[in-house]
Amino acid sequence: MVLTEYAGTAGAVFRDAVTRTHLLTERELDVFCSLGCGMANAEIARHLSITERTVKHHVTEIMTKLGVDSRLKVGIVACIAMLSAEPADERK
């Protein structure tokens, strides 16, 4: 497979996952965005004042809802979602 074929396949998976972000709860969105910023579970736990076990639970729920099979993919989807979001002052 050439690089463009991988990019097309991966792109489709990530685009599909981005369309499912509306399924996330508010707290899952907090964890989702933290993953997109490259934070480790312990950092997320401190940042959100929750336990690391709770973070792991949220990550598992996020993976299920988005249809991805790794924490890394959740982070990539979060980056794509955050980069493609309209700035708050332009949403009118």
Mean pLDDT over 58-83 rounds to: 95
Name the residue range of residue 51's domain.
3-90
Which pLDDT band holds residue 14 (cuts at 50, 70, 90)? Answer: confident
Which pLDDT band holds residue 6 (cuts at 50, 70, 90)? Answer: low
Amino acid at 49: S
Query: What's the burial of 77, exposed, middle or buried (CB within 10 Å: 0-12/13-18/19+)?
Result: buried
Number of domains in the chain: 1
CA distance 12 to 55: 27
Average pLDDT, the chain: 87
CATH number at residue 18: 3.40.50.2300
CA distance 77 to 89: 23
Please give the residue that has the higher pLDDT: either 4 or 39: 39
Mean pLDDT over 40-61 rounds to: 98
b (16+ CB within 10 A) / e for 36-59? beebebeebbeebebeeeebeebb
CA distance 45 to 24: 18
Mean pLDDT over 19-42 rounds to: 96
Q: What is the pLDDT of residue 92?
A: 44
